[in-house]
Amino acid sequence: MGKYIINELVKALKRKHSKIFAIGLFVLCLVANLAVVGFRMIYGTNEGTFAYNIIEYATWCFVIPYYACILIADIVFGKEYPNPFIKDGYTKDLNRGQIYMGKVIASAMLAFVFAIIACVALLLITALFHISDGTIRLYNIKDFFEKMIYAIPLWLAGIGFGNMFLFAFKDKRYAYGGYFILTLLLERLIMMLAAEPFEIGFFKLLRIVTVSQNFSLIPYPADPARNIPLTIATGIIYFVASCILGIILYRKKKFR
């Protein structure tokens, strides 16, 4: 199975969409820095325009990769729905569950590669654009990576959801639709009904275990609602549950 996972990862890295995704990460880091530089040129140097502020802003945006997890999963998934009856040198001894988990693990590994690219691009571009202010300290970098580690289980949940929907539907339009209904529309609806002016008790309870809510709390250590053990547990539980459900759906698929 290890050879299958590595093969899937290598194929994914060679695909055009991987290169586009990586370039997109670089462009986002560049645009973020240009925006802050532009703000500083217009309004002057003040709090919110320093290098360490950009690193801090990045932690506010951890939820964005969560919404993009299905794109990463799709890069690994490939154009064709995996037919378990069509074997090659890498899948000849694998059952459907192993094929499924191979795709999931390869997706997680690809996401890790993109995370490294994003971190390196963010730190290097920010240092280059703001080399004169000298406000990035070891503390800022340590704080950023600490919060990033807390976000990993939630990103894994996104990878799990992405693969689950891709395997659930042979038509990718339905897969993407299902993913965004679950991760964006449903979660945001729960958060809206839990907040003012609604403050519905049932949705306030549900909000605690929504991925988006947990992402929004990671940047704020002083927030009493921030619960890192719960955040980690939420991500892991959703990841495991989505993998189990995805394997069940894949095993029930019929092929001609």
Q: Cα separations (Å) of 212 from 66, 92, 248?
A: 8, 39, 26
pLDDT along the chain (256 residues), means of 10: 96 97 96 86 73 90 96 96 91 94 98 97 90 78 96 98 97 97 97 96 96 97 96 98 98 89
Q: How far is CA 152 from the centre of its chain?
A: 8
pLDDT for position 48: 67
- d(CA 96, CA 103) in angstroms, rounded, equals 11
8-state DSSP, 133: T
Q: Is 134 left (phi over 0), alpha (psi -120 to 50) or beta?
A: left
8-state DSSP, 80: S
- d(CA 7, CA 90) in angstroms, rounded, equals 8
| Percent of the chain that is helix, strand, coil (3-state, to 5) | 75, 0, 25
Total count of domains within the chain: 1
Token code pair at residue 90 = 């890498």
CB atoms within 10 A of CB 186: 14
Residues with Cβ < 8 Å from 144, sequence gap 6 or more?
A: 55, 56, 58, 59
Q: Is the dihedral of CA 30, 68, 140, 218 positive or negative?
A: positive
pLDDT for position 256: 76
pTM for the model: 0.94
Q: Say if residues 76 and 21 touch (Cβ distance below 8 Å).
A: no
pLDDT for position 255: 86
Q: Say if residues 119 and 191 touch (Cβ distance below 8 Å).
A: no
Q: Is the dihedral of CA 129, 135, 137, 142 positive or negative?
A: negative
Q: Where are the beta strands (DSSP E) in the chain?
A: none
Q: Where are the beta strands (DSSP E) in 69-205?
A: none
Domain span at residue 214?
A: 2-252
